[in-house]
């Protein structure tokens, strides 16, 4: 049996799997088979007598966790629950939250719920949203929490925003505790607090999980690392020291979310003596792609020494597109994708990466024009839709009557005659009586400040909630159906008279289906943990802990996403667009050496997602904040050896641009002055690619002269006239 564990592993992979007791750090380069190593190490531990419930394996998405657990089972191991940091802490807190004054059925607030509460607190303190958006305050609180800070840590800064953060953080913390609610950051911080302040609890979890494995360790923040050191202390601190961390500092790209690349750099000294295994054999990319990525990342200083190698062939050259503008860039990329499809490539093996979502607009239009299906990864997810959030708020109130944020969301949805003023009156009465908003809704004696319609509406709501609460004893499906029947929510959601009515109804039907599937399947408890919630509480926890990465669609379409969203994915054919200074790398890193290194790690991630071909593009001219700007190619392009690159020009432009924005002499063409002499607003022109259209606007002079043309298909496109190849047809009235 042991022999099968080591089957098809290289020497370094086998060494990591075979490692016995003591700390282990696996530096796993892109495409080096790290998931295979982690799963086989878990299976090997169980074959050596370690019980499944003694192993705690942590990662960052539910999708990755499920895949890892599935692979362990396929290897013949017992079922082992692999969890995200947040889901593991959420489960542990169900049995430990009482130690810090929380109910076992606490609510989990998402970002929108957090911002709603902050907005309420700002209103109470007469702070205008013009001073700072609630989301900005919330993001700062989150950032500080990820750095393991608390409201008691003193002065945070002298800026107006930070003064507001200081002013609102303590009330936010107190209101959350009063509502028995935690945001995502609290799940980690509160469990960390329990481990620090209650040694008996810490010892209990150390004994429960003498073996801890962490995937994507480079993405951990300070709080997560502090948690790990308390869950599995080094031997020098009296712990088992059986900590295995797997990661790659070259792929640490989540600094904006609090990730500390320093954690993986410091692990050796924190867990001394530590065994280090380097996985340097790449099984994903061609040699040319790998060499390009390695050459780029070598410019960073904050990294562990490793060098990826591959037995793969050199492969195709990396295509380098220097477009005149964003329109040309988008059209050329779309044409190249169509050529791949014509050659037999499946659309699901094609992906486009960009630094920020705003870069996708032009490419979306180009793909639509050519009839190429595409999917924007990271758009609004199912559970973020308004109707779904409304219904989930109803369900949360059923298990946590103290959840005022959820109660406020649904108290007048569907409308019950309770406007903003009436709601504030009811809140005031509830505050006077020391009640939650849910309790106030059910207390008719407090409704004297409301209109007759509002009183009747609240009476119906209280009755619906009581019935749904009883139904919840039969599971999530029964609770949801009781809410739908009692509120008439489907009628409400389909009464807008717009094209989305049927979509909203379909979404509600899908939510019902989801609860049915959950009730039928149940929720597997974390290994050795009987405290995991079931029924409706379990379902709500399940939904709250889902991430956008877990909800992707696998349809046959080109995938378009930010490089951050591409982490952990791989495709045969990858396009990286918008490679200009100020775009990628971001202008925010211009004076920040650490930020620039993270941008370069981001570029490294983008390059190493590609298996077979890679195309990199930049635009000489790009619309930025409403104005056309001349861009400089990204420094990351200059860091790639020239012998790996092949310049690529669109078929309708028989020349190539130099990096300074001019066109190469070997391919140059000269615009015909006579052909452009009659060009003016309102005339008809023809383009070899887009057909006929009308000139709508003209701007600029000389090399910067531009025209906006509205083509007969209704799409407007902007051209640099020197290179556009427009042909005059006939004058016409505009």
- Going by C-alpha positions, the residue among 635, 708, 704 that lies closest to residue 671 is 704
Report the C-alpha gap between 535 and 518 in whole angstroms. 8
Buried b (16+ CB within 10 A) or exposed e, 579-604: bbbbbbbbeebeeeeebbbbbbbbbb
**Structural contact between residues 362 and 329, judged by C-beta atoms closer than 8 angstroms:** yes
Among candidate residues 609, 612, 653, 706, the one labeled active-site is: 609
Among candidate residues 215, 250, 514, 519, the one labeled active-site is: 215
67, containing H or E segment = helix 62-74
Report the C-alpha gap between 475 and 724 in whole angstroms. 63
Buried b (16+ CB within 10 A) or exposed e, 69-81: bebbeebebeebb
**Cβ neighbour number for residue 248 with a 10 Å cutoff:** 28
- Adjacent-strand bridge partners of 571: 610
216 is catalytic: yes
Among candidate residues 113, 120, 216, 390, the one labeled active-site is: 216
Report the C-alpha gap between 589 and 597 in whole angstroms. 9
**Cβ neighbour number for residue 217 with a 10 Å cutoff:** 28
Reading the block at residue 232, the tokens are: 């599995």
Among candidate residues 13, 34, 41, 611, the one labeled active-site is: 34
ω before 188 within 30° of 0 (cis)? no
Among candidate residues 251, 464, 515, 613, the one labeled active-site is: 251
Report the C-alpha gap between 218 and 224 in whole angstroms. 11
Report angle CA 553, 559, 561 to the nearest 5 degrees.
100
**Structural contact between residues 204 and 56, judged by C-beta atoms closer than 8 angstroms:** no
**Cβ neighbour number for residue 464 with a 10 Å cutoff:** 19
34 is catalytic: yes
Among candidate residues 35, 345, 381, 469, the one labeled active-site is: 35
Q: Among all residues, which ones are annotated catalytic?
A: 34-35, 215-216, 251, 609
């Amino acid at each position: 049996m042991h022999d099968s564990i080591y089957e098809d592993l290289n020497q370094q992979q086998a060494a990591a799997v075979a490692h016995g007791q003591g700390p282990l750090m696996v530096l796993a380069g892109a495409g080096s088979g790290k998931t295979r190593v982690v799963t086989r190490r878990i299976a090997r531990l169980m074959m050596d007598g370690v019980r499944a419930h003694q192993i705690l394996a942590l990662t960052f998405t539910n999708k990755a966790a499920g895949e890892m657990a599935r692979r362990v089972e396929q290897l013949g191991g017992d079922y082992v629950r692999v969890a995200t940091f947040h889901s593991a802490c959420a489960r542990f807190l169900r049995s430990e939250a009482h130690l810090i004054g929380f109910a076992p059925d606490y609510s989990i607030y998402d970002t929108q719920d957090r911002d709603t509460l902050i907005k309420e607190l700002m209103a109470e303190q007469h702070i205008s949203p013009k001073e700072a958006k609630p989301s900005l305050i919330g993001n700062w609180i989150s950032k500080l929490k990820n750095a393991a800070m608390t409201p008691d840590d003193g002065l945070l800064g002298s800026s107006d925003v930070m003064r507001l953060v200081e002013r609102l953080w303590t009330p936010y913390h107190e209101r959350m505790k009063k509502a028995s609610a935690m945001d995502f950051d609290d799940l980690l911080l509160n469990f960390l607090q329990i481990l620090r302040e209650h040694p008996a609890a810490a010892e209990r979890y150390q004994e429960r999980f003498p073996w801890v494995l962490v995937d994507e360790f480079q993405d951990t923040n300070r709080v997560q690392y502090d948690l790990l050191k308390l869950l599995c202390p080094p031997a020098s601190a009296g712990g088992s020291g059986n900590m295995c961390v797997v990661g790659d500092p070259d792929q640490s790209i989540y600094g904006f979310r609090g990730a500390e690349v320093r954690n993986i750099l410091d692990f050796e000294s924190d867990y001394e003596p530590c065994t280090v295994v380097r996985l340097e054999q790449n099984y994903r990319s061609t040699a040319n792609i790998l060499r390009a990525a390695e050459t780029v990342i070598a410019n960073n200083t904050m990294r562990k020494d490793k060098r990826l190698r591959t037995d793969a062939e050199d492969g195709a050259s990396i295509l380098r597109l220097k477009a005149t503008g964003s329109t040309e860039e988008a059209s050329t990329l779309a044409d190249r994708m169509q050529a791949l499809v014509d050659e037999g490539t499946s659309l699901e093996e094609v992906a486009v990466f960009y630094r920020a979502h705003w870069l996708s607009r032009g490419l979306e239009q180009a793909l639509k024009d050519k009839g190429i299906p595409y999917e924007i990864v990271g758009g609004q997810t199912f559970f973020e839709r308004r109707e779904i959030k409304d219904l989930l708020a109803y369900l949360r109130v059923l298990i946590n009557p103290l959840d005022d944020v959820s109660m406020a969301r649904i108290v007048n949805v569907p409308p019950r005659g309770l406007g903003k003023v009436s709601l504030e009156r009811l809140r005031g009465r509830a505050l006077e009586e020391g009640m939650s908003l849910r309790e106030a809704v059910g207390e008719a004696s407090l409704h004297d400040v409301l209109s007759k319609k509002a009183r009747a509406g609240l009476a119906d709501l209280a009755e619906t909630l009581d019935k749904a609460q009883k139904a919840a004893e039969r599971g999530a499906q029964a609770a949801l159906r009781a809410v739908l029947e009692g509120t008439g929510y489907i009628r409400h959601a389909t009464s807008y008279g717009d094209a989305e009515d049927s979509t909203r109804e379909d979404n509600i039907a899908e939510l019902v289906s989801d609860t049915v599937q959950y009730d039928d399947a149940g929720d597997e408890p974390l290994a050795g943990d009987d405290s995991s919630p079931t029924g409706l509480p379990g379902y709500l926890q399940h939904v709250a802990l889902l991430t956008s990465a877990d909800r992707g669609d696998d349809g046959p379409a080109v995938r378009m996403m930010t490089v951050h969203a591409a982490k952990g994915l791989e495709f045969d054919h990858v396009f990286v667009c918008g490679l200009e200074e100020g775009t990628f790398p971001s202008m925010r890193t211009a004076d920040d050496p650490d930020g620039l290194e993270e941008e370069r790690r981001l570029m490294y991630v983008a390059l190493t997602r590609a298996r077979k071909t890679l195309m990199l593009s930049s635009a000489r001219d790009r619309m930025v904040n409403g104005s056309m700007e001349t861009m400089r190619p990204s420094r990351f392009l200059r860091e790639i050896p020239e012998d790996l690159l092949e310049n690529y020009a669109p078929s309708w432009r028989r020349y190539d641009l130099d990096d300074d924005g001019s066109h190469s002499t070997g391919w140059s063409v000269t615009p015909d002055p006579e052909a452009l002499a009659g060009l003016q607003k309102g005339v008809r022109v023809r383009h070899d690619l887009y057909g006929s259209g009308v000139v709508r606007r003209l701007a600029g002079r000389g090399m910067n002269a531009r025209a906006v043309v509205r083509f007969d298909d209704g799409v407007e496109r902007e051209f640099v006239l020197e290179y556009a190849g427009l042909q005059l047809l006939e004058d016409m009235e505009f």
